Amino acid sequence: MTIGIAVIGSAPREQASSSKKLILYASPSRAYPSCTDIKWQPGIKANGDLFSLNAIYSRSLASAQKLSKEVESTTPDLYAEDAGSDKSYAKLLERSDVEAVVIALPILAQPEFIKKALSAGKHVLSEKPVAKDLATAHELIDWYHTNIDTKKTIWAVAENFRYLGRFQYGAEQVKELGDILGFRLRMHAFVKPGAKYYETEWRKTPEYQGGFLLDGGVHFIAAMRQLLGQEAKMSQVAAFTAQLQPHLPPIDTINATVKLANGTSGTFSVSFGTTFSGAEYIVACQNGTVDVGFDKTIVKKDGNESTKDFPEDKNGVRQELKAWGESIAQGKAHPLQTPEEALADLEVLEAMIKSGEADGKAIELKLQ
């Protein structure tokens, strides 16, 4: 056994007693969510039967050292861009005891690191969104299926919202309440200069569509897509966008109407630049409503209301890491983590942004 964070839910069939060795790639500027973020550490620790931390790579040795101090009961090897050629990313990928990598980088940097890891035969869990836009995502996914044996080397895209019990329970309840009549999704906040998630250069001056809305918005879309299911999947969007705050380019607000496959519609209102506050995910069905809150799900049916609490839900990272480790052992990607599922999230958000650029023109969705 080697020291490190290794991922293993149920042990691989050919090595029932081994642990998958996991490497964390952490950017010192990555804030939400990332390997340097506190959210990853409890999830890794909680999956100790799957993972052991074997190495850490970061842009600087100082940031790698900082991260290593946050890891309990192990001493991972450190790699960094400024640590010399023997401690490069390429050298790390040569290690036979590193079988899987979690990549949490700024959006524009991820594709190169994903390709290098997959080419080296390492399983990958990369941060959402799958890419900066649909064109880049299609290229990356096509490259994966063309150049990599996807049965032997799994690429998963992280989306912790899909693993939150309150959304999974909510989706089950929606199915029990009859035809979907509509939905409301609202997430409003004011990201101020100096805020934790703002003080990164790649967020202050984003070189990708949507700014904060791309990085955070895919979370909200993923959650609502899960609640709606396939029978009422999103089919068309029309949106207006705006930049309400000068420090949040290129846009910080989307207000959209979304047509569903069953002919009904819903609303999507997300802003990181408003003095409105709060969030809601509500689905109206023929026989009641499902309202998913921060740590509970409220179901109203036939005039009666029931509440199910999820005090242990936290952020879903523990659950998604577990699913990833098990998928590696089974040799098959988890359906909630496929690049194609992440692509569907990105399609919705990009369509809203494009619609806003076209003054509210309706755009058809084709990847749902």
Short-list 314, 330, 239, CA closest to 13? 330
Look at residue 333 and tell me if it is in a domain: no
pLDDT at position 16, please? 32
Beta-sheet strands, E only, within the chain: 20-26, 51-58, 77-80, 100-104, 123-126, 155-157, 180-190, 234-242, 253-260, 265-271, 273-285, 288-292, 296-301, 304-309, 363-364
Average per-residue pLDDT in the chain? 85
Q: What whole-number distance in Å separates Cα of residue 4 and Cα of residue 11?
A: 16
- Claim: this prediction has a pTM higher than 0.85: yes
| Residue 183 belongs to domain with CATH number | 3.30.360.10
What secondary structure letter does DSSP report for 255?
Answer: E
**Half-sphere exposure (CA, 13 Å, Cβ side) for 84?**
3
Look at residue 8 and tell me if it is in a domain: no
Between CA 18 and CA 28, with CA 23 as vertex, the angle to 5 degrees is 160
Q: Are residues 166 and 155 in the same domain?
A: no
Q: Are residues 129 and 182 in the same domain?
A: no
Q: Are residues 354 and 217 in the same domain?
A: yes
Q: Are residues 198 and 130 in the same domain?
A: no
What secondary structure letter does DSSP report for 109?
Answer: G
Between CA 159 and CA 293, with CA 180 as vertex, the angle to 5 degrees is 45
Give the type of residue at 27. S
pLDDT at position 313, please? 81
Choosing from 159, 188, 207, the residue where a domain stops is 159
pLDDT at position 62, please? 83
Look at residue 2 and tell me if it is in a domain: no
pLDDT at position 66, please? 76
Q: Are residues 29 and 111 in the same domain?
A: yes
Q: What whole-number distance in Å separates Cα of residue 103 and Cα of residue 101?
A: 6
Q: Are residues 55 and 133 in the same domain?
A: yes
Which residue positions in the chain have pLDDT lower than 70? 1-42, 67, 70-74, 195-205
Look at residue 326 and tell me if it is in a domain: no
Give the type of residue at 182. G
239 in helix, strand or coil?
A: strand
Q: What whole-number distance in Å separates Cα of residue 87 and Cα of residue 159?
A: 30
The two beta strands, 296-301 and 304-309, are antiparallel
Choosing from 139, 159, 179, the residue where a domain stops is 159
Q: Determine the structural domain holding residue 41 and report its residue range.
A: 20-159
Q: For the chain, how many structural domains are there in total?
A: 2
Look at residue 1 and tell me if it is in a domain: no
Q: Are residues 142 and 186 in the same domain?
A: no
Q: Are residues 300 and 166 in the same domain?
A: yes
Q: Are residues 108 and 197 in the same domain?
A: no
| In the block, residue with structure tokens 């609640």 | 227
Look at residue 330 and tell me if it is in a domain: no
Order of all β-strands in the sheet with 363-364: 304-309, 296-301, 288-292, 273-285, 180-190, 265-271, 253-260, 234-242, 363-364
Q: Are residues 217 and 273 in the same domain?
A: yes
Q: Are residues 141 and 284 in the same domain?
A: no
Choosing from 124, 143, 159, the residue where a domain stops is 159
Look at residue 302 and tell me if it is in a domain: yes
**Backbone angles phi and psi of 72, in degrees to 5:** -90, 150
**Backbone angles phi and psi of 129, in degrees to 5:** -70, 165
Instruction: Quote the tokens at residue 351.
Output: 């369509």
Enumerate residues 6+ apart whose C-beta is below 8 A from 185. 220, 223, 224, 266, 267, 268, 269, 270, 280, 281, 282
Q: Are residues 140 and 187 in the same domain?
A: no
Angle, to 10 degrees, between the axis of helix 212-228 and the axis of helix 339-357? 120
CB 132 within 8 A of CB 159: no
| Residue 102 belongs to domain with CATH number | 3.40.50.720
pLDDT at position 193, please? 84
Look at residue 252 and tell me if it is in a domain: yes
95-125 residues labelled b (16+ CB within 10 A) or e (exposed): bebbbbbbbbbbbebbbebbbbbbebebbbb
